[in-house]
């Protein structure tokens, strides 16, 4: 009897609230002030969803979780397989009951879990076999979590369901419900975000209410009518009503008012700009994103979103905020819907590939790597791209030079070795052109990253200029500016952190491409990892750039006669960096990094000597002098302090050990390996 009653109520649980039929809750709330907040706006689970940023955040998480396919897998000896024959599979993947699909079910429970702290569903089982047949969401406002003592040292989570409308009161034991909850103080009940964020939501609702009231008042602040004499209550009431009838409402704004008998109008309150109305509304959007652990762009705040960071924010959202909820769902299903003896064999898992898909070029490059190294077949790729399989597409390909681990390298006869060396010489001639192609491909990305750094310097240093040098008549202080500038350009400061964050992934990937080509150029078949070298390379360049930039700005400041001149000189240098330096940096790195990374690769491959190759129509006499010079790979072509004479007798003195080109801006020289039999 209890089971059928709960099942009936569960089927009807999607209906609207009936406050008239069950007045206890709202009556108590009304008189006790429940869910009140500092903004003076009543916030409860219904009114909170009327606040756009909060509703948007809840919808984003609920919809994203709902749209991800949820599969039940069976563990194999190696790998896994979808357990389509298990009774739970169609309930989780397709439809948990005959009234809603899987997405509607999951997003409903997820919304409950965020707003109420618990999302619960009633589990309908077959009366004789106990097999789960349906899942029905339960109304969270009628559900309470209870922890019961079940003997010494053992507790269980039960659900208490109270439906005053239909007169149903049920206690659901473990196995009769599915419960998903978020962060809580005891692990079985989650916090309600609505209750925790009541002040933030209330402030947002208050600003919306304030804005609406302002526009209903003709978009003008409130005011008062002042009469020189004392008025009777009837006269005051009549005057107020007449004024309201003329001016109340947006459609009556800007009407002409005729004031008689010395009546005057006085504004009361501040205009919206003085109240920072728009700034407050923007901040509340960010605040809601913070409460829900969302990147602000997910709920429409694009102020700080850029082309370069929005994809990373999406990946961070999937791997952190959304993944936490996915794990909670999967563990709840595993522990509450699967029998103890089934858990070692079956497990649920969401398919998140749809949210992690990159652009077409990035996907196809990843597929190419998978096909080349044998963990993807043509049909695997086609399935991921939602295409039908093709005949013969299930074959897995591997490189011909791959051997089983531990078997040692295959024996190479003398004639095969000679053929490999001939091939390496041929590839060496192609290596210069290949590195040129890589440089052309990576240079725009380096320029874009360096432009972002230059823009950041313009913003942060410009703020220091405004504060300490160009203060509009207030106290100016060159020492204070230089002290703040030193902190800004410290290696662990914001400029250095931004450089490292932008350059490190770029330079590491660039070096990896060069290493792959350079290894093939000398016939080296093993993988070479330059990630550690690339990190040291980037950190050295960051340290040099920070010292150089700080030194230039300090010199400009100290050489100026007045603070105003210093401010102008610093801003001029910042503008020059924005306009010229990104292109210069890209051109220099496109010439330097391929030579440096290729040299490191050849060292790992066992190459002993390098040769300098001067190239380009604008070779300077110094590069011409170096053309053809061959040295041991560990030694520099030019040692620090050495001089290289040009054709006109002038000498170029080296400021550091030069192991590879370029030796000056615009140098197009390269190094090539010297391969011998």
Q: Note whether 142 and 150 are within 8 A (CB).
A: no
**Residue 347, both tokens:** 């497990």
Beta bridge partners of 181: 118
* Lowest mean pLDDT across 45-49, 58-62, 255-259, 385-389: 255-259
End-to-end CA distance of the chain: 90
* 332 has pLDDT over 90: yes
* 345 has pLDDT over 80: yes
pLDDT for residue 109: 94
In this prediction, what percent of the chain has a pLDDT beyond 70? Answer: 72
Neighbours of 550 (CB within 10 A): 19
Which of the pair, 269 or 312, is modelled with greater confidence? 312
Mean pLDDT across the stretch 68-79? 89
Mean pLDDT across the stretch 530-555? 89
Q: Which long-range contacts (CB under 8 A, 24 or more apart) does 523-527 make?
A: 523/420, 523/421, 523/423, 523/424, 523/427, 523/675, 524/601, 524/604, 524/605, 524/606, 525/401
* Lowest mean pLDDT across 72-76, 237-241, 550-554: 237-241
pLDDT band of residue 12 (cuts 50, 70, 90) is very low
Residue 526 DSSP one-character state: S
Q: Dump pLDDT digits (tens) for 481-503.
A: 888 888 888 888 889 888 888 88
Q: Mean pLDDT over all residues of the chain?
A: 77
Which of the pair, 206 or 582, is modelled with greater confidence? 582
SS3 state of residue 132: strand
Q: Is the pTM of this model over 0.75?
A: no
* 637 has pLDDT over 90: no
Which of the pair, 37 or 398, is modelled with greater confidence? 398
Which range, 3-7, 114-118, 267-271, 673-677, is most confident?
A: 114-118
Mean pLDDT across the stretch 460-485? 80
Which range, 175-179, 319-323, 431-435, 611-615, is most confident?
A: 175-179
User: Does 33 sit behind a cis peptide bond, omega within 30 degrees of 0 on the bond before it?
Assistant: no
* 21 has pLDDT over 50: no
* 277 has pLDDT over 60: no
pLDDT for residue 656: 77
pLDDT for residue 331: 94
Residues 62 and 56: their CA atoms lie apart, in Å, by 10
Q: Note whether 519 and 600 are within 8 A (CB).
A: no
* 244 has pLDDT over 60: yes
pLDDT for residue 301: 67
* 233 has pLDDT over 90: no
pLDDT for residue 274: 43
Residue 500: which of 564, 559, 459, 544 has the closest Cα? 544
pLDDT band of residue 596 (cuts 50, 70, 90) is confident
Q: Which long-range contacts (CB under 8 A, 24 or more apart) does 319-325 make?
A: 320/293, 321/61, 321/292, 321/293, 321/294, 322/61, 322/64, 322/65, 322/352, 322/355, 323/352, 324/293, 325/61, 325/65, 325/110, 325/113, 325/182
Annotate 451-488 with b (16+ C-beta within 10 A) or e (fewer): bbbbeebeebbbebbeebbbeeeeebebeebbebbeeb
Mean pLDDT across the stretch 180-202? 85
Residues 601 and 206: their CA atoms lie apart, in Å, by 63
Q: Dump pLDDT digits (tens) for 77-130.
A: 878 899 999 999 999 999 999 999 999 999 999 999 999 999 999 999 988 888
Residues 647 and 219: their CA atoms lie apart, in Å, by 78
Residue 243, judged by CB atoms within 10 A of its CB (0-12, 13-18, 19+), counts as middle
Which of the pair, 27 or 94, is modelled with greater confidence? 94
pLDDT for residue 16: 40
């Amino acid at each position: 009897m209890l089971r059928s009653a709960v099942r009936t109520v569960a089927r009807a649980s999607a209906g609207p609230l009936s406050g008239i039929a069950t007045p206890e809750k709202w009556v108590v709330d009304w008189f006790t002030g429940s869910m009140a907040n500092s903004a003076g706006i009543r916030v409860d689970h219904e009114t909170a969803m009327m606040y756009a940023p909060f509703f948007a955040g809840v919808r984003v998480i609920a919809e994203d979780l709902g749209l991800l396919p949820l599969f039940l897998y069976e563990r194999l000896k190696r790998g896994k397989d979808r357990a389509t024959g298990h009774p739970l599979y169609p309930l989780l993947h397709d439809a948990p009951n005959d009234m809603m699909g899987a997405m509607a079910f999951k997003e409903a429970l997820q919304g409950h879990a965020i707003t109420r702290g618990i999302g619960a569903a009633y589990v309908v089982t077959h009366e004789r076999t106990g097999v789960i047949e349906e899942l029905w969401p339960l109304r969270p406002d009628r559900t309470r979590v209870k922890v019961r003592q079940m003997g010494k040292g053992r507790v269980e989570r039960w659900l208490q369901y109270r439906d005053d409308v239909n007169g149903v009161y049920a206690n659901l034991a473990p196995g009769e419900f599915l419960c998903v909850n978020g962060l809580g103080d005891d692990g079985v009940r989650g916090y309600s975000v609505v209750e925790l964020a009541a002040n933030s939501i209330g402030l947002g609702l208050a600003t919306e209410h304030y804005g609406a009231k302002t526009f209903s008042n003709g978009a003008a602040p409130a005011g008062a009518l002042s009469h020189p004499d004392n008025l009777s209550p009837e006269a005051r009431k009549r005057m107020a009503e007449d004024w309201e009838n003329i001016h109340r409402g947006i459609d009556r704004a800007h009407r002409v008012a005729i004031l008689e008998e010395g009546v005057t109008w006085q504004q009361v309150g501040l205009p919206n700009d003085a109240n920072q109305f728009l700034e407050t509304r923007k901040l509340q959007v960010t605040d809601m994103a913070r409460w829900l652990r969302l990147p602000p762009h997910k709920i429409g705040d694009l102020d700080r979103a850029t082309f370069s960071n929005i994809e990373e924010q999406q990946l961070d959202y999937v791997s952190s905020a959304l993944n936490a909820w996915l794990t909670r769902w999967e563990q709840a299903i595993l522990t509450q819907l699967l029998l103890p003896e089934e858990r070692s064999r079956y497990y649920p898992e969401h398919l998140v590939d749809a949210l992690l898909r990159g652009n077409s070029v990035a996907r196809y490059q990843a597929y190419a790597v998978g096909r080349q190294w044998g963990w993807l077949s043509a049909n695997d790729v086609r399935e991921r791209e939602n295409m039908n399989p093709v005949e013969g597409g299930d074959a897995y390909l591997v490189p011909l030079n791959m051997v089983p681990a531990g078997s040692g390298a295959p024996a190479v006869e003398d004639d095969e070795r000679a053929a490999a060396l001939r091939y390496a010489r041929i590839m060496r001639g192609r290596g210069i052109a290949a590195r040129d192609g890589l440089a052309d491909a990576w240079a725009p990305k380096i320029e874009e990253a360096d432009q972002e750094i230059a823009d950041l310097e313009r913003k942060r240093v410009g703020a220091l200029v405004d504060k300490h040098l160009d203060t509009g008549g207030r106290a100016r202080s060159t020492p204070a500016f230089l002290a703040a500038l030193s902190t800004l350009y410290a290696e662990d400061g914001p400029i250095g952190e931004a450089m490292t964050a932008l350059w490190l992934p770029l330079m590491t990937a660039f070096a990896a491409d060069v290493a792959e080509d350079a290894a093939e150029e000398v016939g080296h078949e093993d993988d070479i990892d330059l990630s550690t070298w690339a990190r040291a390379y980037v950190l050295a360049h960051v340290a040099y750039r920070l010292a150089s930039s700080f030194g230039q700005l300090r010199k400009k400041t100290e050489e100026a006669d007045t603070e105003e001149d210093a401010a102008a000189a610093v801003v001029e240098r910042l503008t020059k960096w924005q306009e010229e330096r990104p292109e210069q940096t890209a051109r220099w790195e496109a010439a330097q990094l391929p030579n440096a990374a290729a040299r490191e690769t050849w060292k790992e491959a066992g190459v002993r000597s390098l040769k300098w190759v001067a190239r380009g129509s604008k070779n300077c006499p110094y590069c011409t002098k170096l053309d053809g010079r061959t040295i041991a790979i560990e030694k520099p072509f030019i040692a620090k302090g050495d001089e290289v004479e040009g054709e006109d007798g002038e000498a170029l003195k080296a400021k550091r050990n030069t192991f590879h080109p370029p030796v000056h801006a615009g140098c197009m020289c390269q190094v090539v390996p010297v391969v011998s039999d």
